[in-house]
Amino acid sequence: MKLMWKQVLVAFVLGAVVGIAGSHACLWNRHHGDHKNFQERLLKRFNERLHLSLYQQQKVAAVLEQKKSKIDAMRAEVRPKFEEIRNATSAEIRQMLMPEQQKEFDRMNAEFEERIKNHREHLGGD
């Protein structure tokens, strides 16, 4: 019986880690995924705090726009690696669970995948 509680505890901890990582990724995408909106908010914050001249605002906006493609490339490179780790973690956790727990875990994963899909569609991304 002790082993089962240890398995449940390990599954809970690993689930929390995956959940936190997933939440972080979603929040990152929420704040950084919509580049135009993010750039506008960042430029607004710079202007409010730094009191940029119109010329400076234009130059900062140009820099942000130029770096957008590099950020997109980095995101495209990192996303598959993140997904690979997340999927491997889920598979390891699933193996520790009893059949009924696996069914609920699968439902949880399906709900998470649906939220990710909806979020990406909302942003107009992949």
> How many structural domains does the chain have?
1
**pTM exceeds 0.75, yes or no:** no
Among 109, 106, 88, smallest CA distance to 98 is for: 106
Residue identified by tokens 């914050």 is 45
- Domain with 66, as residue range(s), is 2-113
User: Model confidence over 37-73: pLDDT tens digits?
Assistant: 878 889 999 999 999 999 999 999 999 989 888 888 8
Q: Are 57 and 47 in contact (CB under 8 A)?
A: yes
User: Model confidence over 67-121: pLDDT tens digits?
Assistant: 888 888 898 899 899 889 988 999 999 999 999 999 999 999 899 888 888 877 7
Q: Is residue 10 part of a domain?
A: yes
Q: Is residue 42 part of a domain?
A: yes
Q: Is residue 120 part of a domain?
A: no
